Amino acid sequence: MTFDELFLTNLKGIYFAERQVLKALPKMAKAAESAELKQALTEHRDGTQGQVERLQQVFEILGKRAQGVTCEAINGLIEEFTELVDEAREAGPVRDAGIIAAGQAIEHYEIARYGTLVAWAKSSGRKDVAALLQATLDEEKKTDTLLNKLATGTVNMQAAQAA
Amino acid sequence: MTFDELFLTNLKGIYFAERQVLKALPKMAKAAESAELKQALTEHRDGTQGQVERLQQVFEILGKRAQGVTCEAINGLIEEFTELVDEAREAGPVRDAGIIAAGQAIEHYEIARYGTLVAWAKSSGRKDVAALLQATLDEEKKTDTLLNKLATGTVNMQAAQAA
């Protein structure tokens, strides 16, 4: 396997992942009770659409067809969210705390993947590709910070008091 | 579902995850070519053993039996590593770059999970539990930084030149 092939495999993995996240986010927003959390997830859905398009640009630059390969990690992360919503049943701060946790786990997966892809693109001298992926990486970090603020600012305290 | 139940479910998830990682790390170390990477993964295996014991302490403090629940995300993350080793076949810098990427994805999953658990423990006024989990969170971040240094310091450049 060449370094280019390794890069492409991981690019296809995150392309699959982003499109799964795109489908999951409206469900997460629907399950949320907090208006702020609903809004954050809805806005992140729109952002994710842009991230998918950025990945398509990367495929184009590399002269490859935009194509996903199944990424079991993201399937597992989304499954954990679905199970949580099932188990928590009622909407409220406890379920919101769980939704934020699931969202942050997804963000961290993406942060790890984009971090790696940016570093690989730079090592291969592909500054154009690195810049595109870096833009998404910055957005994922911002979303993680926002979710963190929602959790520690209001939701966790409400969840602790609800118990 | 109460906040305590949500906490316990997530604690059981990371307990399962850490024990899966404990089993995977020697395989990752074996597949690595770089002596530094081998050493980092071997040392992290010993660290993970300590992290499992810390989780057992948390269960004990909470008066609960230490018990894991299947976490599909970590299974997926480890599967991605296994697939990479299969696909990359030959040991060398390209496979090492892939092993580091898999390792960082695992670290980020743990960082997200421990970050959440620390925040939840604090909101519940459980400073003792928060301190134990924070110690592990700090270790996971250190491991991620170390893997990053290995990748950007040497492995990625070697992988790019090998291609």
CB burial string A82-116: b at 16+ within 10 A, e below: ebbbeebeeebbbbbbbbbbbbbbbbbbbbbbbbb
Q: In terms of residues, how long is chain A?
A: 163
Q: What's the whole-number mean pLDDT along residues A34-47? A: 96
Contact criterion met (CB below 8 Å) for B14 and B113: yes
What is the rounded CA–CA span in Å between residue B44 and residue B21? 10
Contacts of B158 in chain A (CB under 8 A): none
Q: What's the whole-number mean pLDDT along residues A38-46? A: 96
What is the rounded CA–CA span in Å between residue B143 and residue A157? 31
Stated as kind and residue range, the H or E segment containing A158 is helix A156-162
Contacts of A13 in chain B (CB under 8 A): 80
Q: What is the pLDDT of residues A44-83, one digit of tens each?
A: 999 999 999 999 999 999 999 999 999 999 999 999 999 9
**B144 CA to chain A: closest CA distance, Å?**
9
Contact criterion met (CB below 8 Å) for A94 and A88: yes
Say yes or no for a CB contact (<8 Å) between A73 and B71: no
Cα dist from B41 to A77, B99, B116, B155, whole Å: 24, 10, 25, 15
- Among A85, A100, A114, A116, the strongest candidate for a mutation testing the B interface, having the largest count of B CBs within 10 A, is A116
- CB distance from B103 to chain A under 8 Å? no
Contacts of A71 in chain B (CB under 8 A): 76, 80
What is the rounded CA–CA span in Å between residue B11 and residue A43? 30
- CB distance from A107 to chain B under 8 Å? yes
Say yes or no for a CB contact (<8 Å) between B108 and A109: yes
Per DSSP, helices labelled H in B32-126 are 35-61, 72-88, 93-123
Q: Which residue of A has its CA nearest to B93?
A: A3
Query: In three state form, how does the secondary structure of A98-141 look?
Result: HHHHHHHHHHHHHHHHHHHHHHHHHHCCCHHHHHHHHHHHHHHH
- Among A4, A14, A21, A94, the strongest candidate for a mutation testing the B interface, having the largest count of B CBs within 10 A, is A94
Show Cβ contacts of residue B121 under 8 Å, excluding neighbours closer than 6 positions.
B7, B127, B129, B130, B133
ipTM: 0.95
Q: Average pLDDT by consecutive 10-residue portion of chain B (163 residues)? A: 95 98 96 97 96 98 97 94 88 96 97 98 97 98 97 96 81
Mark which residues 15-44 of A lie under 8 Å from B by CB: none
The whole-model pTM stands at 0.96
